[in-house]
């Protein structure tokens, strides 16, 4: 049919952030391909500065929940999330890879990467994050995202042997949604976000 949505369109339309998972022994899909496909993204100058760690070991997930301050989240009345994840994918940023790439001969006439008005390592990391979330949703699990701004980063790096110079964008989580906690949210945003030809208020 002419107006029928494509598979990708439906996946995007139905995707949403889920922050309440149940702890279940129910078998879940194989997630082994997600990491490889997550970082199949364009990177500025083919710098390849975006990396990923997948964590499925339950003990490490519990430790990551502690380092991500889940207790504070629970104390506010929210449901378990990080600790009930089936997997956590850490999106990593190797900023130095971009600077090294843009020092090379074929990039010597480009804007120096230290002077970019938009740091493209964050752009590329965002693309990887979105890949990861869509790939998780495609398996039938639900995805969520927690930024690294309120985490114990030194402890996370120590646990997972992440080098000091590597930055952590955040956690992309995969889990089974706690349907008893589902809340329908009113669409309170009315700001125009999609424009054509010219910006319209």
Residue 187 has what pLDDT?
63
pLDDT above 90 (res 185)? no
pLDDT score, position 18? 92
Residue 190 pLDDT = 72
The predicted-structure confidence for 104-153, as pLDDT tens digits, reads as follows 867 766 777 888 899 999 999 999 999 999 999 999 999 999 999 999 99
- Give yes or no for residue 57 having a pLDDT over 90: yes
Burial 80-96 (b: 16+ CB within 10 A, else e): bbbbbbbbbbbbbbbbe
H/E element, 145: strand 142-147
pLDDT value of residue 182: 65
Q: How far apart are CA 44 and CA 101, in angstroms?
A: 9
Residue 8, pLDDT score: 87
Q: Please check the confidence at residue 186 and state whether its pLDDT lies above 70.
A: no
Count of positions (residues) in the chain: 201
Of residues 100 and 52, the one with the higher pLDDT is: 52
Q: Which CATH class is domain 7-181?
A: alpha beta
Give the model's pLDDT for residue 13: 86
pLDDT value of residue 189: 62
pLDDT in tens, 19-52: 999 998 888 999 999 999 999 999 988 899 999 9
The residue ranking higher by pLDDT, 197 or 60, is: 60
Q: What is the pLDDT of residue 139?
A: 95
Please tell me what DSSP assigns to residue 148: G
DSSP-derived letter for residue 103 is: T
pLDDT in tens, 61-86: 999 999 999 999 899 988 899 999 99
pLDDT of residue 179: 83
* Nearest to 19, CA basis, from 64, 66, 83: 83
pLDDT at residue 11, rounded to an integer: 87
The confidence band for 192, taking pLDDT boundaries of 50, 70 and 90, is confident
């Amino acid at each position: 049919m002419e107006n029928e949505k494509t598979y990708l369109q439906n996946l995007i339309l139905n995707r949403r952030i889920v922050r309440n998972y149940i702890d279940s022994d129910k078998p879940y899909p194989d997630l082994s391909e997600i990491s490889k496909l997550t970082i199949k993204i364009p990177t500025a100058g083919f710098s390849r500065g975006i990396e990923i760690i997948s964590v499925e070991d339950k003990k490490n997930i519990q430790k990551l929940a502690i380092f991500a301050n889940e207790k504070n989240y629970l104390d506010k009345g929210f449901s378990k999330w990080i600790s009930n994840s089936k997997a956590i994918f850490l999106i990593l940023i190797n900023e130095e890879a971009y600077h090294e790439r843009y020092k090379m001969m074929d990039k010597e006439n480009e804007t120096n990467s230290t002077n970019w008005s938009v740091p493209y390592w964050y752009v590329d990391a965002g693309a990887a994050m979105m890949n990861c979330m869509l790939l998780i949703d495609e398996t039938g699990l639900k995805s969520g995202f927690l930024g690294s701004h309120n985490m114990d980063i030194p402890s996370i790096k120590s646990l997972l042997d992440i080098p000091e110079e590597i930055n952590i964008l955040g956690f992309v989580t995969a889990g089974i949604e706690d349907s008893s906690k589902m809340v329908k949210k009113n669409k309170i945003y009315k700001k125009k976000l999609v424009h054509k030809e010219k910006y319209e208020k």
